[in-house]
Amino acid sequence: MRATSIFSALLSVTTTLTSPIDLSTNADADASSPPSNEITINSASTSGSGCPRHSVAITISPERTAITLGFDEFQTYLGRRFADSDRDKNCQIRLNLFYPGGYTFAVLDATYHGYAQLDPGVTGSLSTSYSFAGGRPDRRSGRTESTTQTSISGGGGYEAGGVYTKTDAIPVNSRVRAPCGKNATMVIRTRINLEGGGGGGEGEGEGMLTGDDATFALTQQMRIEWETCVE
């Protein structure tokens, strides 16, 4: 099991699940979707144990509609060779978005792609929450935050290591919509965690939940739904 790796994360916010972040709408979008050239990312910042200062490369496209985040410390390990703190990492991403007045949007679901190497009895979990800085409770769900989460059980094909794809949808009554207006800061908090282990005289099981390189890039894709505001 490798103790070091490069984790490349691409967050996609689109109706067609492409990457990196692409805030444009698809060709079949209806009148409830704003023009794609009017949706932009003004800035992005990160913080957390999985993305400390100087460990994340942030690239925003010239037209400011796409962003790529490259991490080198967002990875978790479990086993006797590793510290307890290695089994749990988090990263907070703040995206300042500009979009036309009169529109709002909500995250519908998230798809996680990545690489896991997990012994039997070890479970890897990924969770992400979505909120808007300074936002009031959603007028429909009453919530200020929505969450997607998934888990991977060790053993089987993951004992030797393998690529996974997991999708989790946010129930309609749990979605949180962006403020109506022209500017909002979307806060994305992602956590990866390893739990469990052996016993039975064989010692603690081992696990790795991470991206390895460009081949095993962990990609989190988010689907969003636009709609016109209702006062």
What pLDDT does residue 119 have? Answer: 92
Tell me the sheet residues that pair with 52: none
> What is the rounded distance in angstroms from the CA atom of residue 18 to the CA atom of residue 209?
23
Highest-confidence segment of 19-28, 65-74, 167-176, 219-228:
167-176
Q: CA torsion angle for 70, 113, 175, 224 (degrees, to 10)?
A: 70
Tell me the pLDDT of the chain averaged across its residues: 75
Top-confidence residue, 88 or 11? 88
What pLDDT does residue 168 have? Answer: 86
The residues spanned by each domain of the chain are: 7-228
- Residues 90-123: tens digit of each pLDDT: 999 898 988 888 888 888 887 777 789 999 999 9
Number of residues in the chain: 231
- Residue 210, pLDDT above cutoff 50: yes
What pLDDT does residue 121 have? Answer: 92
- Residue 170, pLDDT above cutoff 70: yes
CB 57 within 8 A of CB 173: no
Q: What is the DSSP string of 99-148?
A: --TTEEEEEEEEEEEEEEEE-TTEEEEEEEEEEETTPPPPTTT--SEEEE
- pTM summary value: 0.78
